[in-house]
Amino acid sequence: MFSYLTSRIIANQKRVLILTHRSELLTQAGGTLEHFGLNAINIKPSYAPKTLAGSLYVAMTQTLVRRFKKPLYAQWLQSGLDVVIVDECHRCDFNTLLEALPPHVIVIGVTATPHREKNQPALDAFYQSMVEVAQVSRLIELGKLARPKSYGISIDLSGVKTKGGDWDSQQVGKRMDEIKLYHGVYENYMKHTPGQKAIIFASSIESSKTLVQSLKDKGLPAKHLDGNTSTKERRETLEWFKETPNALLSNMGILTAGFDEPTIEVVILYRATKSLPLFLQMVGRGSRTTQNKRSFTILDFGNNIATHGFWEQDREWSLQPPKRARKSLGVSPIKECPTCNAYLSAQAKECEYCGHVFPPSKAEIQERVIAELRLLSYDQVKQAAQGASFEELEQLATAKGYSKNWIFYNLQNKEQLKDYAKYKGYSPKWVEYQMQLRNK
């Protein structure tokens, strides 16, 4: 989307900078910019220009932050640009550069998750308006995104501390290792998605390596990546992942956004996060469609769906911080199928994956009973009231629209009034008051 937009801006003789944290995907041969006939200059650590007079640049944010106060770059940011496009603009590492731009520069931010947590500067500090292209549910309907199936196993995170507004990743990883949750990953993977390609998001490097070793010991093709992995090994591992149909690739913090591998069939959340954008970005790695893929599976081991709701549910986005947003982003109530561990809407009567039928809830039973009682004649109501329990009397009164005095009238003596008072939590004085009314 923004590469196409860039091509139109360049055609109007304007100068563009694209800020990103994944420059290789945009500038590599066959990349998106090249698809639109654009040749971008990549400002990377090894780039040492004498002039910045080009019309299109792509820059890693961290690289520019280290240079933007140098005379050449400072002058360029002030007078050498017309438009800045920010990829994944929900991230906070762009803030410093955006604050340094002059007023005449047009800034366009793009992201699938326009949301920042309460402890972060809100998006309305940098952007004036939002264009919402489509909800995830609509893109699924159009066949542009794959439809997820959600399964999960609850984990007890009591006692785990928070760090920087999110769960302490080291402590979450330690908790998972302590309860040997990696065995649960294997069992659920083999139960729901055997032989399918899976990407795994782990809480810590140690936890990821422990999980990978456990999967390898059980005969599955699994590998690990993290920020310390060499460029050569990372490239070879990603190529292996692309070419291996049943590969399982676990990572810690490097494939959460911008990693595009359409053949991913399973997303395993072996971590817990309080961050909605992080949750949506991780799950989104499995949402790419192919000619043979129209759905994918989420295996959640960190209570993430229970925390944030279904990945595909509609959300109302806002540039404003959560406390000032017009409406809450909302979490749809969910329940877990006791047979297959699928996550379902709380209103589901039957599991769409295994066919388990849920017994009616107490509220549903009461609603059905009241509907039946509503059809009773007056004589039938009087007969039903004889010997009825307190709950049944209240159901009769609700169904027929009677006042609560009708219930009191059907209580024959002081002992029944006392029992009803205990049932409702009324004071003993209420019983005396009712008896006074009867005596009058």
Strand order across the 248-252 sheet: 147-152, 295-300, 266-270, 198-202, 248-252, 222-226
Enumerate residues 6+ apart whose C-beta is below 8 A from 379.
none
Distances (CA, A) of 199 to 122, 176, 185, 376, 418: 31, 18, 12, 59, 63
Measured CA to CA, the distance from residue 113 to residue 88 in angstroms comes to 8
Closest by Cα among 301, 316, 339 to 181: 301
Query: What does the pLDDT read at residue 308?
Result: 92
Q: Is 30 helix (H, G, I), strand (E, B) or coil?
A: coil
Enumerate residues 6+ apart whose C-beta is below 8 A from 393.
385, 407, 410
Residue 120 phi/psi, 5-degree rounding, is -115, 150
Q: What CATH number should be reported for the domain whose range is 139-345?
A: 3.40.50.300
Measured CA to CA, the distance from residue 10 to residue 53 in angstroms comes to 14
Q: Which structure tokens are listed for 97?
A: 């550069």
β-partners of residue 16 are 56, 83
Q: Which structure tokens are listed for 285?
A: 């790695």
pTM above the 0.85 mark? no
Measured CA to CA, the distance from residue 435 to residue 438 in angstroms comes to 5
Q: What CATH number should be reported for the domain whose range is 2-111?
A: 3.40.50.300
Measured CA to CA, the distance from residue 299 to residue 423 in angstroms comes to 44
Task: State the virtual CA torsion across 54, 55, 57, 63 in degrees, nearest 10.
Answer: 50
Query: 184-189: which pairs have CB atoms within 8 A and are 24 or more residues apart?
Result: 184/153, 184/301, 185/211, 185/214, 185/215, 185/268, 185/270, 185/299, 185/301, 186/214, 186/215, 186/218, 186/220, 188/151, 188/153, 188/299, 188/341, 189/220, 189/248, 189/266, 189/268, 189/299
Q: What is the DSSP letter of 125?
A: G
Kindly state the helix (H) or strand (E) to which residue 198 belongs, with its residue range: strand 198-202
- Residue 114 CB neighbour total at 10 angstroms: 18
Query: Where do runs of H (alpha helix) occur along 374-411?
Result: 378-385, 390-400, 404-409
| pLDDT tens for the chain, residues 1 to 440 | 889 999 999 999 999 999 987 766 666 666 788 889 999 998 988 888 999 999 999 998 888 989 989 999 999 999 999 999 999 899 888 898 999 999 999 999 999 889 888 778 899 999 999 999 899 999 999 999 999 999 988 889 989 998 888 899 999 999 999 888 989 999 999 999 999 999 999 999 999 999 999 999 999 999 999 989 998 999 999 999 999 999 999 999 889 877 889 999 999 999 999 999 999 999 999 999 999 999 999 999 999 999 999 999 999 899 988 765 444 445 668 888 988 989 998 888 899 989 999 887 777 677 777 777 777 777 887 888 887 888 888 888 888 888 878 888 788 788 888 888 888 888 888 888 888 888 87
* Domains of the chain by residue range: 2-111, 139-345, 362-439
Task: State the virtual CA torsion across 60, 61, 66, 68 in degrees, nearest 10.
Answer: 100
Is 325 in contact with 318 (CB distance < 8 Å)?
yes
β-pairing, 106-110 with 147-152?
unpaired
Measured CA to CA, the distance from residue 52 to residue 67 in angstroms comes to 13
Residue 152 phi/psi, 5-degree rounding, is -160, 160
- Residue 285 CB neighbour total at 10 angstroms: 21
Query: What does the pLDDT read at residue 29?
Result: 60
Query: What does the pLDDT read at residue 172?
Result: 93
Is 201 in contact with 271 (CB distance < 8 Å)?
yes
Task: State the virtual CA torsion across 215, 218, 222, 223 in degrees, nearest 10.
Answer: 70
Measured CA to CA, the distance from residue 405 to residue 413 in angstroms comes to 14
